[in-house]
């Protein structure tokens, strides 16, 4: 079970909010890799991951893929197709088998007017995500890749609820940060030599979360939040 604080930090919707929205959702199941929405599409609707994961990112004209985020249950996407009249910014694909809830614009707006608590929850989710996005933007401007990689690993660990070992390839880390696999490889080597992480095949283990955090904090260029 996910704690309340974790909801707030990830932008996921609270169980209270889900209780209000769940009856209104159309449910659909997706197979691994199946396309949910593509960048540029105009069909409006809020999507909420209910089971499994959804990979959100973009393929460039040259085929290069950059991952934006892997959404877990109760995380939503596509708000701007409803509240602004903007097309999808990202391609969303099922990441493993997954169950996704969908609600259209008019239905959602009506629900908000009727139950403004829903709006407060969505406002929380959106403002948290904007917050995170702005922080990452600052990191990109200020921090060297190795520190940003360390932060990604730390975040991964926090979101997973403090698990020690994580299954992900260096390629995935690279596509998330928008850097080459090679620089990820050499950064991980360095972090591993510092004893901050342990590398494996498609795996990273973080033996001591606190030590990793303090290493990151020493390299932080601006005042820490939280």
Partner DNA sequence: GTATAAATGTAAACATATTTACATTTATAC
Partner DNA sequence: GTATAAATGTAAATATGTTTACATTTATAC
Contact between 189 and a second copy (CB under 8 A)?
no
Given the rule CB under 8 A, which of 47-55, 129-137, 158-166, 201-209 is the region that contacts a second copy?
A: 129-137
The answer to whether 37 touches 115, Cβ cutoff 8 Å, is no
Distances (CA, A) of 175 to 68, 79, 179: 8, 24, 7
The candidate with the shortest Cα–Cα distance to 203, out of 224, 226, 180, 173, is 173
Would you give the distance in Å from CA 172 to the centre of its chain?
A: 13
Of 15 and 221, the one with the shorter C-beta distance to a second copy is: 221
State the number of binding residues for a second copy (CB under 8 A): 54
N-to-C CA span, the chain: 23
Which among a second copy, DNA, none contacts residue 79 (Cβ within 5 to 8 A by kind)?
Answer: a second copy
Question: Whole-number minimum distance, CB 191 to DNA, in Å?
Answer: 11
Question: Is-contact 121 111, C-beta < 8 A?
Answer: no
Question: Which residues from 7-26 bind a second copy, rule CB under 8 A?
Answer: 8
* CA angle centred on 94, ends 58 and 109, rounded to 5°: 85
Binding site for DNA (CB under 7 A): 144-146, 169-171, 178-183, 185-186, 188-189, 199-203
For a second copy, the binding residues (CB under 8 A) are 8, 39-40, 58-62, 64, 66, 68, 79-80, 82-87, 89-90, 109, 112-113, 116-117, 119-120, 122-124, 126-131, 133-138, 140-142, 178, 220-226
């Amino acid at each position: 079970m996910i704690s309340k604080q974790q909801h707030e930090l990830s932008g996921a919707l609270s169980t209270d909010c889900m209780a209000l929205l769940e009856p209104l959702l159309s449910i659909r199941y997706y197979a691994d890799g199946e396309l949910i929405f593509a960048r540029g599409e105009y069909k409006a609707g809020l999507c909420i991951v209910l089971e499994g994961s959804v990979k959100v990112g973009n393929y460039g004209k040259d085929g290069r893929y950059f991952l934006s985020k892997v959404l877990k249950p109760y995380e939503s996407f596509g708000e701007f197709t409803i509240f602004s009249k903007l097309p999808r910014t990202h391609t969303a694909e099922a990441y493993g088998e997954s169950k996704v809830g969908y609600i259209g614009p008019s239905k959602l707006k009506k629900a908000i007017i009727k139950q403004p608590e829903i709006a407060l929850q969505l406002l929380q989710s959106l403002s948290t995500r904007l917050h995170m996005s702005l922080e990452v933007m600052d990191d990109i401007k200020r921090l060297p890749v190795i520190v940003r990689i360390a932060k990604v690993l730390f975040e991964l660990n926090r979101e997973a609820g403090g698990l020690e070992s994580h299954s992900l390839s260096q390629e995935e880390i690279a596509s998330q940060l928008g850097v080459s696999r090679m620089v990820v490889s050499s950064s991980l080597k360095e972090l591993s030599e510092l004893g901050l992480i342990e590398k494996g095949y498609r795996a990273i283990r973080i033996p001591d979360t606190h030590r990793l955090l303090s290493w990151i904090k020493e390299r932080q260029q601006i005042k820490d939040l939280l």
